[in-house]
Amino acid sequence: MKRKVVAIIPVREFKNTKLRLRPYFNGAERAALTTSLLRHVLAALRNSKVDAVVIVASDERSASKVSEGFVNTLVIREKSHHGGVSKAMEEGIAHTGSHITDVTSFMLIPSDLPFLSRRAINSAISKLSDNDLVISPSIKRDGTSLLLFNFPRGKIPLHYDDNSFRQHQNEARKLNIRYSIFPKKEFSFDLDSITDLRKLMRSLKAKSMLELSQKLESEV
């Protein structure tokens, strides 16, 4: 049976993202950075074995504008405004079940993975042949940067923003689900702090925020 994978991405209002960077960048600069990160993630997904993308957005209009040109990408409004990542992911899964047929697997990821690539995505998907759940930890190994599962066998209760890497492993063990830990930089490195931003700019050889945005949107 051919695998049909749908990615779910929660997205807050662009002006209210990257709040830890407020001492260094204004709202417009942070919104531009968030926009470029999302477009980078969408480009990587478009070139991969993922069949469709559902964005669960606090600001549906802005997210729809940013995702213009990306086929098989659906933007829905978050029902519970700022209800948290777990709630947004569940809403995306539920909406998919009602609007997209024959889904075999879900990929739950954030919108700010600057090193995400087609190769890393496809490598993660390939692990579903021997596992029903794939988990990637955040770089600090406290959060979860990827949950990829066969549906419904690998679905677990979600614990984002609650020491989720440990919690998600515990849920998999309790449910006796075959799972694999997938600690890849492409998934684990998200952009959260000024230290992360400096590391990213050095890695991409970007000398300004404008140059960083341009490189993010050109590299997948």
- Residue-range domain boundaries for the chain: 5-218
Fold of 5-218: Spore Coat Polysaccharide Biosynthesis Protein SpsA; Chain A (3.90.550)
Residue 50: the pLDDT is: 98
Measure Cα distances from 140 to 18, 84, 183 in Å: 18, 20, 11
Long-range contacts (CB closer than 8 Å, 24 or more residues apart) made by 19-22: 20/192, 20/193, 20/194, 21/193, 21/194, 21/197
Range 66-89 burial, b when 16+ CB lie within 10 A, else e: bbeebeebbbbebeeeeeebbbbb
Q: Which amino acid is at 13?
A: E
Q: Within the chain, which residues score under 50 in pLDDT?
A: none
The span from the CA of 2 to the CA of 92, in Å, is 22
- Residue 26, Cβ density class (10 Å: 0-12 exposed, 13-18 middle, ≥19 buried): exposed
The tokens for 43 are 């480009």
- Inter-helix orientation angle 209-218/27-46, to 10°: 10
The tokens for 114 are 């600057």
The span from the CA of 27 to the CA of 16, in Å, is 7
Residue 65: the pLDDT is: 95
Q: Enter the pTM of the model.
A: 0.94
Q: How far apart are the first and last CA of the chain?
A: 29
- Residue 217, Cβ density class (10 Å: 0-12 exposed, 13-18 middle, ≥19 buried): middle
Residue 1: the pLDDT is: 61
Secondary structure tally for the chain: helices H, strands E: 8, 7
